[in-house]
């Protein structure tokens, strides 16, 4: 499954937040303040959380930032 960031159009492994049905990568989400916005549970911005399928001992997983920040 290939995702493209709705803000910069770059490919990414997974979205950090969704704006409606549009995925936004972690880099853009952070820059645009969407991470904070998504926590408020208001409007169309909400976080993409994949923890449901993650094992308990997966705390050391490092976020993968596949977006090239240049
Ligand atoms: Zn982006």
Q: Tens of pLDDT along 3-26?
A: 999 999 999 999 999 999 999 999
Domain-embedded: residue 47 = no
Cα–ligand 1 centroid distance for 10 (angstroms) = 6
Q: Is residue 33 part of a domain?
A: yes
> Is 68 among the domain residues?
no
DSSP, collapsed to helix, strand or coil, labels residue 24 as strand
The alpha carbon of 12 and the centre of ligand 1 are apart by a number of angstroms equal to: 8
Tell me which residue range forms the domain holding 21: 3-40
pTM given for the model: 0.65
Residue 35's pLDDT is what? Answer: 92
- Assigned domain for 58 exists: no
Q: How far is CA 3 from the centre of its chain?
A: 11
The per-residue pLDDT for range 33-65, each reduced to its tens digit, is 999 999 987 788 999 876 555 455 555 555 665
Structural domain total, the chain = 1
The larger pLDDT score, comparing residue 54 to residue 68, is at 68
Find the 57 Cα to ligand 1 centroid distance in Å.
29
Measured in Å, residue 25 CA sits from the centre of ligand 1 at 5
Cα of 67 vs centre of ligand 1, distance in Å, is 7
Here the tokens at position 12 are 């990414």
pLDDT of residue 38: 92
In a domain, 22, yes or no: yes
| CA distances from residue 4 to 53, 55, 60 in whole angstroms, order as listed | 23, 27, 26
Tell me if 32 is assigned to some domain: yes
Within a domain: 61? no
């Amino acid at each position: 499954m290939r995702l493209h960031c709705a803000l910069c159009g770059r490919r990414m492994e997974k979205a950090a937040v969704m704006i409606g049905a549009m995925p936004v990568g972690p880099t853009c989400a952070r820059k645009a303040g969407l991470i904070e916005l998504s926590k408020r549970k208001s409007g169309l911005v909400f976080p993409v959380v994949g923890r449901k399928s993650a094992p308990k001992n997966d705390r050391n997983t490092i976020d993968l930032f596949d977006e090239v920040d240049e």
